[in-house]
Chains A and B, each alone.
Chain A
Amino acid sequence: MSKKGSFDLKVGLAEMLKGGVIMDVMNVDQAKIAEDAGAVAVMALERIPALIREEGGIARASDPQMIREIQDSVSIPVMAKVRIGHFAEAQILEAMEVDFIDESEVLTPADEHNHIWKHDFKVPFVCGCRNLGEALRRIGEGAAMIRTKGEAGSGNIVEAVRHMRQVKSDIKKLTTMDREEMMAAAKDMGAPFSLVEQVAKIGKLPVPNFAAGGVATPADASLMMQLGSETVFVGSGIFMSDDPGPRAKAIVDAVTYYKDPKKMVEISTDLQTAMKGIEISEIPENERLQERGW
């Protein structure tokens, strides 16, 4: 008997996305530009994070019609976002057969205390994190892929770097611990003990670990890959730049040849202006998207 919807199959798709670039798109034209440039998947959303930041208001899951049009226009996996804790939005996306759901801090949270119980779904979920405890709570709830939160829509890589380094250093500490210390670590991190034990043993997250939040240039992508990211999400960085197509292609090449500085010169040459970006200290704390969720 064949089986569907298992956790391993969810992680299996995340595995296939490795070494690729997942791009935020707002319509069919952008989805096609992304696919032509070599995106490994597209994230369909009504407003990219930079626009959500500019325009304000409540950011919700996208209109099913818009997602359907994108599904019909590309052959690569189509992802979409739901508000933190909004399992009804997730049920709708599952019924539409999106390939991956992002329970995302970029949208306005629907529940301040609880995230979605993702094991109930057949569709895989990705969630953001700032440290290992947050990553393991999300995996405990059923996330099949983890990404850094970074600071979405900022065009500033500093927060994604902070979060990736934090996760790595938290993991490194676990690998040197005795079992007694692991229980204390689980308590301090607020993470399930079984996952803490597993991470201590394998020395990495049990699901793929991707970078997101602030990637704007091929060099940003290379930086995140060298810091241990297995794939890169680019949100506002492509369609807020002056040259979406060539820039998208350059970031795709950068994720493949990130270890080769000479090739990176070639890849980074002849691009137009990247998105302007914001200094993180200029974003009031209550407007920082990474503070959403726990």
Chain B
Amino acid sequence: MIGVLALQGNFTKHIELLKRLGISSTEVRYPDQFNDIDGLVLPGGESSVISDLIVRNDLLEPIVEFSRVKPILATCAGIILMSKKTNDPRVIPLNIFDIEINRNAYGRQIHSFFDTIQVDLNGTTSSIVASFIRAPKIAKLGNDIEVLATHNGTPVAIRNDRHIGLTFHPELNNETIFHSFLFQMKKKVDTLSAN
């Protein structure tokens, strides 16, 4: 079962996409739900709002604990939350990705855009359409970060072992490669724990 953090944002779109891939998922709002899921999606939305709701509802520790063994796919607001440094006191970093990131770094909504990018994932290169909505920009890459895609020289898709972080929204263009990857990672973790 894949959990989708459902505090605020477009979590329903991720659930629809997972359903289309035949992967069952559930909305996550409570700490005890982390025992029942094997993968997590941190969706887009307003990072300051989601961060606040994470802290207010005692979800910070459970997410960090979860990330130590199980895979997370984070898009837009999600990757901001997972970073080490957010450069904004309104967003408490979960410190899962060793990166520094700046919120809303391309400007206001009028500067939101979509573009085709090349993604290198597990030895396969795919060309996908990525929507950047008031998107963040990765300012600094730290340890153990593999860059999967760039846009105009800036990393926009990264991987740290089982976790993936994206500054754009694959779900808005029905791009499924990252959700499929999350499911593969979940299976890999299952196999490891079975052994």
Contact = CB atoms under 8 A, between A and B. Distances in A.
A49 interface: no
Interface in A1-36: 1-6, 8-10, 12-13, 15-20, 35
B111 A75 contact: no
Contacts of A16: 9-10, 44-46, 76-77, 133-134
A185 to B, nearest CB: 27
A13 B109 CA distance: 8
A6 B11 CA distance: 22
B109 A124 contact: yes
Interface residues of B, number: 38
Chain A interface SS verdict (over half): loop
A38 B53 contact: yes
A39 B49 contact: yes
Contact of B107 (A40, A41, A97, A260): A97
A257 interface: yes
29 contacts: A2-B115, A3-B114, A4-B111, A4-B112, A5-B110, A9-B113, A9-B133, A12-B172, A13-B109, A15-B13, A17-B45, A18-B11, A20-B9, A20-B45, A20-B49, A40-B8, A40-B45, A71-B108, A75-B88, A77-B108, A77-B134, A97-B109, A97-B110, A97-B111, A100-B109, A123-B110, A124-B109, A252-B49, A256-B6
Interface of B: 6-13, 29, 44-46, 48-49, 52-53, 56-57, 76-77, 88, 90, 103-104, 107-115, 131, 133-134, 169, 172
Interface of A: 1-6, 8-10, 12-13, 15-20, 35, 38-41, 71, 75-77, 94, 97-100, 122-124, 252-253, 255-257, 260
